[in-house]
Amino acid sequence: MLITFEGIDGAGKSTQIRKLQKLLAEKQCETIVLREPGGTEIAEKIRQILLESRHDITPVGELLLFSASRAELVQQVILPAIAEGKTVILDRFFDSTTAYQGYGRGLDAEMLQSIIRLSTFSLHPDITFYLDISPENAMLRKFSEKSLPLALEENELDRMERSGSDFYQRVRKGYHRIIEGEKNRFVVLDALDNPEKLHKEIVASLGERFPAFSGLRTP
């Protein structure tokens, strides 16, 4: 079982992933949590290259680095875990590439899809939770009104976060387009809702769609 979480930076994915991981652990469901880019020694090194703000990377170079990290993680960790019957929770997967490198950076959709097929070994998530938030609210949530100018000044934003608000608007719209085309796989959540309410919605969706999770209850 592969569960993925998507959304622009600052949408609150990590909080929801932690809550779900805790609940599944309590129910003795064998789960591993991974993030993209990252999750193997090489993929973590690629993550550093991609996110360090001092690096200037071309859109195609960026696409290939995210894809290289993905290929390592899928082949070395995700596919073996799924084959052993584990539940994999993944913080970002190929939808991030379609949204960020496709809609955000403007790379060709067909070329993107063939690289995605190659780097994922055609693996598809069983369900994807998308946390929707505007770029303005996401930045405020991450840094608060007072510390945002400081964060910019002191270089606290990673290379992706420095791409600017127009870029994030395109990424968000991109996510909306992806979801339009694949409504059955996605559960769309309002990232500004209370975290407990969101957790309940996530657990309920899993229970409704998958018999293995039908007994899951939030406290």
CB atoms within 10 A of CB 9: 19
Helix (H, G, I), strand (E, B) or coil at 151: helix
Site for ligand TMP, residues 141 to 160, rule: CB under 6 A? 160
Tell me which stretch binds ligand TMP (CB under 6 A): 31-39, 73-81, 178-186, 190-198.
31-39
Question: Shortest distance, CB of residue 169 to ligand TMP, whole angstroms?
Answer: 14
Edge-first strand order for the sheet with 186-190 is: 31-35, 87-91, 2-6, 127-132, 186-190
End-to-end CA distance of the chain: 23
When asked if residue 119 is in the footprint of ligand TMP (CB under 6 A), the reply is no
When asked if residue 92 is in the footprint of ligand TMP (CB under 6 A), the reply is yes
Among 100, 129, 167, 186, binds ligand TMP (CB under 6 A): 100
When asked if residue 128 is in the footprint of ligand TMP (CB under 6 A), the reply is no
Where do runs of H (alpha helix) occur along the chain?
Answer: 13-26, 41-51, 59-73, 79-83, 94-96, 109-120, 135-153, 165-181, 195-209
When asked if residue 10 is in the footprint of ligand TMP (CB under 6 A), the reply is no
Question: Shortest distance, CB of residue 105 to ligand TMP, whole angstroms?
Answer: 8
When asked if residue 72 is in the footprint of ligand TMP (CB under 6 A), the reply is no
Tell me which stretch binds ligand TMP (CB under 6 A): 96-104, 117-125, 146-154, 178-186.
96-104
Query: Cα(193)–Cα(158) distance, rounded to whole angstroms?
Result: 26
Question: Shortest distance, CB of residue 103 to ligand TMP, whole angstroms?
Answer: 11
Dihedrals φ, ψ of 90, to 5°? -120, 120
Do 120 and 94 form a contact (C-beta atoms < 8 A)? yes
Question: Shortest distance, CB of residue 200 to ligand TMP, whole angstroms?
Answer: 24
Q: Which residues lie near ligand TMP (CB under 6 A)? A: 9, 35-37, 66, 92, 96-97, 100-101, 160
